[in-house]
Chain A
Amino acid sequence: MHRNSPQIHHPVPQRPVQVPVMQSPPPPSHSSDPYDNPYGAPSYANMGGHQQQHHPQPGQNAGGGYPQQFTTFGQGANFFSDPMAAQMGFNVARAAMSGGTDFAEKNMNRYLSSLKPFFAVTNTYVLRKLSILLNPWRHAPWSRQSTSRSSSSRPGESETIYLPPREDLNAPDMYIPLMSFVTYILLSSLLYGLSGTFHPELLGYTASSAMGSVVFELVVLKLGCYLLSIGNSQLLDCMAYSGYKFVGVIVTILAKACLGAGWLSRGIFVYAYAANAFFLLRSLKYVLLPEENDAGYAGQRQMRKRRTWFLFGYAYVVQLVFMVTLTSGVGKKA
């Protein structure tokens, strides 16, 4: 009979074989992965297929990754029950971590997208805004412009949103406060260094002190808004407005460094403080005070008076406290 000798079909196991085969000495493991098992090589391929019924998504990555690693010391491989538990634990941890990072990414995207309009600035906007900050008495219209766009949350309607700083000079931005905050830290460290009393913790010290004052001011403002039932103050807007005072603080520190501690630098401090207070009064008027319509309601008039007092108190007293705190003791300890 001329036939080729029939192919010998070895019995292919229908189920994964779970027979541990010992080798002495054990083959050295090439990877330093703590979950590696030097005995575990091609059983991982079976284990990958076996586990795909249990963990559909995460198992495929691990099951697909490991067989390439372990085919080097493959034949006659061993199998214990430990690698299975270890791999399952690893898969669970990987699923949990990916779920956690997805959640964090979603929230982070939401925060970042709400921060984006604050950083849409141009050069001319920055220059004009700085000139307004240092000389606010010449600026005429202070109201923010708004436009109506089609709303994304309620389709079919149009909601009015404020224009970003690129198109509206009166819109608050976060670029100037952030940059002036960093400049304040660096400048105060420079002045400390010039007077010989610099040590590297001073940078973090100044940063946390300035940030603490901003946080405290925001807490005071939010508390006042809640007590006076002022509804429409956004946290990021208030953060931007409270960061604008760093510009005046920088000017004062520079003047104090160049001109000494005489009456001229004090005059410059008073001027910067007054400019900042006026700027805040005019800008926050539209946020804190209600509309100008006279409803003739006694309670509303009293509410309006209270709010006006709060605005005055915030713009003058609170800012005075903070500016004195920020400008005192910079580069003075010689």
Chain B
Amino acid sequence: MLFGLMPLIKMIILIVNAIAILSEDRFLARIGWAAQPEPSFGGQDVSIKGKIVNLISATRLLTRIPLIGINSIIIIYELLLG
């Protein structure tokens, strides 16, 4: 079952977890993927790299707190059902 629904949800949550625990100043600034401030309106400023950086920082900002709840639910689910 390569793409079952439940394994897919777990895979998505694992990937979001991995994105959420990236550290802003220890890792992302080192490789130049730090979140930029609001870009000045200079035309084609939204490159693919800029979009990825924005996506990562937005994911980190928004999903840190709900992930706590979701991870707890999944941990309890796995402990109870083996």
Interface residues of A (CB under 8 A from B): 205, 208-213, 215-216, 219, 226-229, 297, 299-300, 306, 325
Nearest B residue to A322 by beta-carbon distance?
B3
Contact residues in B for A212 (Cβ distance below 8 Å): 3-5, 7-8
Give the secondary structure class of A's interface: helix
The contact of A227 among B4, B8, B44, B48, by CB within 8 Å, is B48
Q: Determine if B6 is an interface residue (Cβ-Cβ < 8 Å).
A: yes
Task: Provide 29 A-B residue pairs closer than 8 Å at the C-beta atoms, listed in order of the A residue.
Answer: A205-B1, A205-B4, A208-B5, A209-B3, A209-B5, A210-B3, A211-B5, A212-B3, A212-B4, A212-B5, A212-B7, A212-B8, A213-B2, A213-B3, A215-B5, A216-B3, A216-B8, A219-B12, A226-B55, A227-B51, A227-B52, A228-B48, A229-B46, A229-B51, A297-B44, A299-B44, A300-B44, A306-B48, A325-B3
Give the CA-CA distance A229 to B55 in the complex, in Å.
Answer: 12
A226, A227, A299, A306 pick with most chain B CB within 10 angstroms: A227
Interface residues of B (CB under 8 A from A): 1-8, 12, 44, 46, 48, 51-52, 55
Contact residues in B for A300 (Cβ distance below 8 Å): 44
Contact residues in A for B55 (Cβ distance below 8 Å): 226-227
Give the CA-CA distance A216 to B9 in the complex, in Å.
Answer: 10
Give the CA-CA distance A216 to B4 in the complex, in Å.
Answer: 10
Give the CA-CA distance A213 to B8 in the complex, in Å.
Answer: 9
Q: Is the CB of A208 within 8 A of B4?
A: yes
Give the secondary structure class of B's interface: helix
Nearest A residue to B2 by beta-carbon distance?
A325
Q: Is the CB of A209 within 8 A of B2?
A: yes
* Closest 10 pairs (CB-CB, A-B): A212-B3, A213-B3, A208-B5, A212-B8, A299-B44, A212-B5, A212-B4, A209-B4, A325-B2, A209-B1
Give the CA-CA distance A259 to B4 in the complex, in Å.
Answer: 28
Contact residues in B for A209 (Cβ distance below 8 Å): 1-5
Nearest B residue to A300 by beta-carbon distance?
B44
Give the CA-CA distance A213 to B46 in the complex, in Å.
Answer: 30
With both chains docked as a complex, state the minimum distance between the C-beta of A205 and any C-beta of chain B, in angstroms. Answer: 7
Nearest B residue to A214 by beta-carbon distance?
B3
A226-B55, A227-B52, A229-B51 known; A208 vs B6 contact (CB < 8 Å): yes
Contact residues in B for A205 (Cβ distance below 8 Å): 1, 4
With both chains docked as a complex, state the minimum distance between the C-beta of B55 and any C-beta of chain A, in angstroms. Answer: 7
Known: A209-B2, A213-B3, A227-B52. 5 other contacts (CB 8 A): A210-B3, A219-B12, A228-B48, A300-B44, A325-B3
B3, B7, B46 pick with most chain A CB within 10 angstroms: B3
Give the CA-CA distance A216 to B3 in the complex, in Å.
Answer: 8
With both chains docked as a complex, state the minimum distance between the C-beta of A83 and any C-beta of chain B, in angstroms. Answer: 39
With both chains docked as a complex, state the minimum distance between the C-beta of A199 and any C-beta of chain B, in angstroms. Answer: 14
Contact residues in B for A229 (Cβ distance below 8 Å): 46, 51
